Amino acid sequence: MQKVKRITLNGDWMNVAFDGIACSSWFVKNFSSDDIYVSLCECIRDTDACFCVPSKLAEEVFISTEMVERTDGIWIKGSGDVEVEAISWRPTI
C-alpha cells in the first residue's frame, strides 16, 4: 500500500506523519517556487543542519540506521505545495 500526503506549507515548521507506520526513508517533492527544508527531528530547526529540497525538485530523505531505526514523521519548513511519500516503512501496530 502506498503512503503519500500532499500538503501546503505556510512558512512555519510542519510535522508530516503517517498514522500506524514508522518510516526510515521518504521521498519529498517540492512543487513550490522556493526551497524547502526537511528535518528528521523536531529538535533540529536550524535550516543549515537540514536537508534542502530546491524549488521544483525532489529528494530522498533517510535516517541513518546508526542513529535511530525509524520515526513516525518528518518536519518540513517552507511555503507552497509539497508531496511526501513514505518509501521504507513498517506498521507500528
List of residues 6+ apart from 21 with CB closer than 8 A: 3, 72, 86, 89, 90, 91, 92
- Residue by residue, DSSP assigns 23-71 as EEEEEEEE-SSS-EEEESSTT---GGGSEEE-TT-EEEEE--TTT-S-B
pLDDT in tens, 45-71: 888 889 999 999 999 998 866 556 677
pLDDT in tens, 6-40: 999 999 999 999 888 888 899 999 999 999 999 98
Span 3-91 CATH architecture: Sandwich (2.60)
10 Å Cβ neighbour count for 80?
A: 16
Q: Is the pTM of this model over 0.85?
A: yes
Q: How confident is the model at residue 41 (pLDDT cuts 50, 70, 90)?
A: confident
The residue ranges of every structural domain in the chain are 3-91
